[in-house]
Amino acid sequence: MTNLSVLRRFYRTVLGLNRRNTDYVFRHNPRTLFHLVDNKIETKAALTAHGIPVPRSYAIFEVQWDLRRFGWAIRRLNDFVLKPARASGGGGILAIVRREGDVFYKASGAGLRQRDLEDHVSDILAGAFSRNQRQDEAILEYRVRSEPTIAAMSYGGVADFRVLVFLGVPVMAMLRLPTRRSDGRANLHMGGLGVGIDLATGRTTRAIGPGGAIERHPDLGVPLSGVTFPAWEQILEIATRCFEALRLGYFGADLVLDVERGPLVLEVNGRPGLGIQLANGRGLRPLLEEVERRDPRELPLRDRIALGQELFRAA
């Protein structure tokens, strides 16, 4: 098949933003459930109640007055993450990778004092990063340490797996990698990389960056295709179990693979982006239409995962 015919096939099957919203987000995600995925604190509570592993929260700050206990909360922590409860797209996330006395260091090497951290928490609480610029909560959280295979492909931050789940079936996945341009964040719109993954084998297939298709990490020089990850079946299982925990019909589950704790769910997105199609070089529409035709919601977990792998392989 020529490159032109591949491109034409892709455009015939690609899912656009309007159709994503009308046919999948609005139809299959009840508005009453969005409070769960739009608030990381509520998401973690719902997932934990269903036995789904998430990073540990050390503390939650709800109002400015809570800053009086910030120093106590971090007194024994050498590394941690500060994040808003209601932000999206990676906004407001601050990761501290090491501490030397009273100085806290980011992955970039920039040093911060406790006052700087408190100012950042204050901005979070004021709503600087929330979706509607309204009051928010700040989460002090365990910092993930990536499994070595993934860490070797990541620059200055933590990579995550985005697994797209529809009606309880995983239909597509990618690895999102941080870069120098993205300041160590894995989000594609910030300059991160998207690496397509064969759903059946867990092996990377192709990759995209801000300028289009790429073969190697622009900062590290390592190849991005042909990499297989440990615990892939476990990652798929945990992502798929989020369907039972949240009852959203269409969502993207973001997971990390921690070197000590294994797969953890970072967050769940009820309006997942569409760059996953570019990373995989194929459109979502045939997969979603076939899943909807079969209506697999009552199937056992393992059968739903097998169905997603079968459909991905056949697409």
> What pLDDT does residue 304 have?
98
Q: Measuring CA to CA, how many Å separate 261 from each of 95, 141, 142, 197?
A: 18, 14, 11, 22
> What pLDDT does residue 296 have?
96
Q: Measuring CA to CA, how many Å separate 200 from each of 172, 232, 290, 311, 314?
A: 10, 9, 17, 9, 11
> What pLDDT does residue 7 have?
58
> What pLDDT does residue 273 have?
92
Sheet holding 204-209, edge to edge: 212-214, 204-209, 193-197, 169-177, 160-166, 250-258, 262-269
Angle between helical axes of 40-49 and 232-246 (0-180°, round to 10): 100
Per-residue pLDDT of the chain (315 residues; tens, 9 = 90+): 455 555 566 678 999 999 999 999 999 999 888 888 889 999 999 999 999 999 999 999 999 999 999 999 999 999 999 999 988 777 889 999 999 999 999 988 899 999 999 999 999 999 998 877 678 999 999 999 999 999 999 998 899 999 999 999 999 999 999 998 887 788 888 889 999 999 999 999 999 999 899 999 999 999 999 999 889 999 999 999 999 999 999 999 999 999 999 999 999 999 999 999 999 999 999 999 999 999 999 999 999 999 999 999 987
Strands 138-141 and 80-84, by their bridges, are antiparallel
Q: Which of 225, 149, 151, 156 is nearest to 194 (CA)?
A: 225
Q: Spell out the residues 6+ positions from residue 139 whose beta carbon is closer than 8 angstroms to its own.
A: 40, 41, 57, 59, 60, 81, 82, 83, 84, 85
Hey, is 95 helix, strand or coil?
A: strand
* C-beta neighbour count of 71 within 10 angstroms: 11
Global pTM reads: 0.92
> What pLDDT does residue 5 have?
57
